[in-house]
Structure 1
Amino acid sequence: MPIHNVVTPQPDSIFVSIASYRDPELIPTLRDMIAHAANPAALHIAICCQHDSDVSPFIDFGMKLLHTEKIESYDVSFFEYRDARISVISLHYYESKGACWARHMAERLYRNEAWFLQIDSHCRFAPDWDREAIAMLLELQADGTSPVLSTYPPAYDPEDESKRTQFISRLVFREFSADGIPMLSSTPLKSDKPARCGYLAGGFIFAPGSFVRDVPNDPDIFFAGEEIAMAARAFTHGYDIYTPNKILLWHYYQRSDASKIWSDHTNDAKKTGSVDLAWWERDKISKKRVRSVLGIDASPCDLGCYGHGNIRTLADFEQRLGVHFLSQTVIPDVIGRERVSYFPGESFSKEMWFTQRVHPNKRKITFTIDEIMADIDNDGWWHIGVYSENNTLLEKKTFTPQEMAQRFSDKKNVYEIELTFTTPPSLKPAVVRVCSYTQRQGWGKTVEKMW
């Protein structure tokens, strides 16, 4: 854990942490953040800028360079712009070790500010966003909680700033990844006050400044899984997560042309000595740490200061989410119509919690034209069955030729069949079988795909 200078914080001072990877939206994000702040002088913006070690874009933008110093082997430049303080750790993108490492580096510049904001480097802001965010947390703190605001902000498009999504969403469970890590999505929220939630979004966290000390970013978590790992750590440290009921900022989601670390930190880049590890190697280390946080790794690693707190337990966190990590099961309401993302303590007993759980199954299975007989009679059909290891039928669907045609992707030249269903915890899918039937020939050949 980095050592922070201890100073007396101003009541409205905000430490803003930004990880930026070769992002042309960084400067526009800074401009918009400061322009729409009610009190720019209260902002200390710390940026880990993974680009080309050149700080001239900040100077060209009009920032006043005050001085520079070293943190470890990295240059840190301190600027002032419209009364806001901006600290920039500038390094070449080949030196990056991932998103959470960059957030960790930015957090080293924390100077005991009263509030903490973590965002990505491609955002736009609502008027007086800082005042509104502080007011929300102060109101929640009055109820005796340790609140944190977090969600996926609505979208904006830098090509057309007039088009900004105008709805609020809360985070919900989507599915388990192949590594057993819960993945998140969002659903619209309408509420006259911040709504309790169990999940954190890495691209927007607003919390008391103590969050930086209590739940610092783990530099060895690369990208995938950062949100559920940090949510678990925040909960066990006593923090309560809420979805804000007002729009505070927007986020740029598409970024299809943007540079990404997995496009730069390749096997070839490692061979030439440009990077120490390819991105997938860091990702492998990262996922083991995430699985260790969630208690699902057979040989968990030592997490050091990036583990759980001692205020609440991981089991408490699972029960509040309605998600059991080790068995990859959920309470039905988690994936039902309401998409519940937080259960109050009195929702159900521990016994009820274990008996209600189901295993959520969701996969997109693809078949080529050559693998299945595409030309069948209009009165023919396809049988799609999902079976367990002991050959128990878990899910069955039948598709007419017309329904099958709707699932054909011209771009990929394959049939895409999406299967979503639940099973008891003891039964998990193992294989998908597809077989056609026609009046002329009866049953065709069976094609199998592993689940």
Structure 2
Amino acid sequence: MTASLVTSLAAPTATIAATPVGTSPNSIFVQIASYRDSQLIPTLLDLINKAKTPDWLRIVVCWQHAPDETLGGFWRQGFGKWRAETASNWTIQHLDYRGAKVELIDVPHMMTQGACWARNLLQQRYGGERYTLQLDSHHRFVERWDTQLIDTLELLRGESPKPMLTAYLPGFDPANDAHLRGDPQCLNFDRFGTEGVVTFRGKRLPAGKARQHPVRARFYSGHFTFADGHFAEAVQHDPDYFFLGEEISISVRAFTHGYDLYHPHYLIAWHEYTRRHRVKMWDDHTSQAKQRGEIDEHWSERNARAYRRNRALLGIDGETYTQQEFGKYGLGNERTLAEYETYAGISFTCRGVHEATLNHEPPLPPGTPRPDETTWKASLRRANDIRVCLHRNIFNKHAATPGTQDTLACAASAVVTIHDGSETVLHRKLADTSSLSEYRTNNWLDFHVIFVSALEGIPARYVVELFDEAGNLLSRVGHAVVI
């Protein structure tokens, strides 16, 4: 990646630092990025009401809201002691609830630049608190969550100078949150996305020994992380990231800054995953909004730029960068990227994943020497995410019987075969009638084929064959893999 490209991505972020104030020994700086979320106020109420000591909390919310989402909603729920200040052209609304300090960075929703930009704005408000907790704006909590997290983090001091607790929390439904259930979860590798972003999925933490002590983690969760307060300064979110890429980049940057990631071994909170209860930025920041002059960029433009930035930072597919290009949003100097790859069992350069990582085995202890390159590569499998996207016209053009129309609509099943550059078959996927109906949208066949192969098995081409109910070939189309 060229310096000019990265420089254009790293636009200055307005500083809205908080005025330092006296803090208690157990003060917690809570960061919440919220975009038009009806669950924000219920989340704040539950967060504060379930804390043992609410006056330990200083909660800063990047409140990205529409004109009809007003302060009145907070006042009606008992938030008070209101005052306002202006910092770097942003209005900060100050409120109080049961002794907890709440600050709303007042951001009109069409002025936002994405989730990571919002998280960065929050981190500018860090005021020296002892701990920090990063959340989304749709959660529920256990009783005395604050003391439990503090006690657990301090328990880890014997094995790590900079521990942090992070997890994908079990889910809940805001429409029925009276009987919350679930188990503590760990983060497991899911896939290398088409654009090179590593994604994870939550999995229930096994019972037994794993439930007796915090468990070492490979990955960081954007919706729940508890750490020393200095984490909010040392590993700030890159405002030029948009959404996907945030978690793997912070995982690596935290590790290379000397932080050790752990999953809590007990249930601490719940997270709402469905997004049914809130509008998303991509619903508002549309092409129409750009044409009306309401926004500078479509959300997908920001997203594409973030993907390029992530590829450069982590060396996806061999891309490179210099530390100067990323500045404080680059890697740390306490550990190397190679050490993280050894720890997590991942190779960004070749989209490789260690067998132990695929099998959800615990990570190696930090500092474990990597074996020689031949042995290391022999332990890796290539993670593939191939997008198959073809229009009905291309299927008609390549119909088994020339002139046949609507072969895609008539198909009862499909077979996708992935080949490498020498036409060796790497993977074959059958789409039956039920799955094929899900993949057909507006005259397109569009879905992803996710699989692992030998490290040297690099996908180059896919072939899609459509069949009728009797198994007769309707069409056969080949297409180059796009990465």
Q: TM-score, normalised by structure 2?
A: 0.83
SS of 1:170's equivalent?
Answer: strand
**Residues in 1 aligned to 2:238 and 2:152: alpha-carbon distance in whole angstroms:** 27
Q: 1:115 to 1:350 in 2, by over 3 A?
A: farther
Paired residue type of 1:349:
P
- Give 1:430's match in structure 2, choosing from 449, 460, 464: 460
Match of 2:407 in 1: 370
Q: 1:404 to 1:131 in 2, by over 3 A?
A: same
Answer whether contact 1:232 1:293 (CA < 8 A) is retained: no
User: Which stretch shows the higher mean deviation, 409-418 or 296-305?
Assistant: 409-418
**Residues in 2 aligned to 1:60 and 1:201: alpha-carbon distance in whole angstroms:** 32
Answer whether contact 1:154 1:164 (CA < 8 A) is retained: no
Match of 1:30 in 2: 44
Match of 1:306 in 2: 329
SS of 2:185's equivalent?
Answer: strand
1:393 matched to 2:415? The reply is: no
Q: 1:71 to 1:178 in 2, by over 3 A?
A: same
Paired residue type of 2:326:
L
Q: 1:44 to 1:415 in 2, by over 3 A?
A: same
1:51 matched to 2:65? The reply is: yes
SS of 1:183's equivalent?
Answer: strand
Paired residue type of 2:289:
A
Answer whether contact 1:78 1:85 (CA < 8 A) is retained: yes
- Structure 1 residues 95-123: Cα deviation after superposition (integer angstroms, max 9, x where no partner): 11111111111222211000000000111
**Residues in 2 aligned to 1:93 and 1:260: alpha-carbon distance in whole angstroms:** 10
**Residues in 1 aligned to 2:274 and 2:261: alpha-carbon distance in whole angstroms:** 26
**Residues in 2 aligned to 1:371 and 1:365: alpha-carbon distance in whole angstroms:** 14
Deviation at 1:361, TM superposition (A): 2.5
Answer whether contact 1:172 1:340 (CA < 8 A) is retained: no
**Residues in 2 aligned to 1:87 and 1:295: alpha-carbon distance in whole angstroms:** 38
Map 1:243-254 → 2, pairs under 5 A = 243-254=263-274
Paired residue type of 1:108:
Q
Deviation at 1:145, TM superposition (A): 3.5
- Give 2:292's match in structure 1, choosing from 272, 284, 287: 272
Paired residue type of 1:62:
G
SS of 2:325's equivalent?
Answer: coil
Instruction: Compute the RMSD of aligned alpha carbons.
Output: 2.9
Paired residue type of 1:209:
G
Deviation at 1:385, TM superposition (A): 2.9
Deviation at 1:39, TM superposition (A): 0.5
Match of 1:349 in 2: 371
Answer whether contact 1:270 1:277 (CA < 8 A) is retained: yes
Q: 1:409 to 1:89 in 2, by over 3 A?
A: same
**Residues in 2 aligned to 1:372 and 1:428: alpha-carbon distance in whole angstroms:** 31
Paired residue type of 1:240:
D
Paired residue type of 2:371:
S
Paired residue type of 1:67:
R
Q: 1:43 to 1:435 in 2, by over 3 A?
A: closer
**Residues in 2 aligned to 1:170 and 1:415: alpha-carbon distance in whole angstroms:** 34
Map 1:113-128 → 2, pairs under 5 A = 113-128=129-144
Match of 1:378 in 2: none
- Give 2:477's match in structure 1, choosing from 422, 435, 447: 447
Deviation at 1:9, TM superposition (A): 4.2
Deviation at 1:307, TM superposition (A): 1.1
Deviation at 1:63, TM superposition (A): 1.4
Paired residue type of 1:86:
V
- Give 1:315's match in structure 2, choosing from 338, 345, 354: 338
Match of 1:71 in 2: 87
User: Which stretch shows the higher mean deviation, 1-10 or 20-29?
Assistant: 1-10
Percent of aligned pairs sharing the same letter: 32
**Residues in 1 aligned to 2:292 and 2:415: alpha-carbon distance in whole angstroms:** 51
Answer whether contact 1:181 1:325 (CA < 8 A) is retained: no
**Residues in 2 aligned to 1:57 and 1:442: alpha-carbon distance in whole angstroms:** 61
Answer whether contact 1:372 1:447 (CA < 8 A) is retained: no
User: Which stretch shows the higher mean deviation, 356-365 or 168-177?
Assistant: 356-365
Paired residue type of 2:407:
D
Deviation at 1:409, TM superposition (A): 2.5
Answer whether contact 1:122 1:251 (CA < 8 A) is retained: yes
**Residues in 1 aligned to 2:196 and 2:471: alpha-carbon distance in whole angstroms:** 42
- Structure 1 residues 380-429: Cα deviation after superposition (integer angstroms, max 9, x where no partner): x98653211221222346x6xxx834544268479898755432222212
User: Which stretch shows the higher mean deviation, 419-428 or 11-20?
Assistant: 419-428
Higher fraction of helix:
2
Paired residue type of 2:425:
L
Q: 1:373 to 1:158 in 2, by over 3 A?
A: closer
Q: 1:445 to 1:295 in 2, by over 3 A?
A: closer
Match of 1:10 in 2: 24
Answer whether contact 1:197 1:241 (CA < 8 A) is retained: yes
Q: 1:130 to 1:396 in 2, by over 3 A?
A: same
Map 1:176-195 → 2, pairs under 5 A = 176-190=192-206, 191=210, 192-195=212-215
Answer whether contact 1:21 1:93 (CA < 8 A) is retained: yes
SS of 2:170's equivalent?
Answer: coil
Q: 1:289 to 1:72 in 2, by over 3 A?
A: same
Answer whether contact 1:236 1:308 (CA < 8 A) is retained: yes
- Give 1:404's match in structure 2, choosing from 432, 438, 453: 432
- Structure 1 residues 199-234: Cα deviation after superposition (integer angstroms, max 9, x where no partner): 101011100001011111222211110001111110
Q: Which runs of 5+ in 2 are unaligned?
A: 1-12, 393-405
**Residues in 2 aligned to 1:330 and 1:441: alpha-carbon distance in whole angstroms:** 37
SS of 1:154's equivalent?
Answer: coil
Paired residue type of 1:26:
L
Q: Which runs of 5+ in 1 are unaligned?
A: 376-380
Answer whether contact 2:414 2:436 (CA < 8 A) is retained: no
- Give 1:232's match in structure 2, choosing from 236, 240, 252: 252
Answer whether contact 1:404 1:415 (CA < 8 A) is retained: no
- Give 1:21's match in structure 2, choosing from 35, 41, 50: 35
Paired residue type of 2:456:
S
Answer whether contact 2:385 2:448 (CA < 8 A) is retained: yes
1:196 matched to 2:196? The reply is: no
Q: 1:348 to 1:372 in 2, by over 3 A?
A: farther
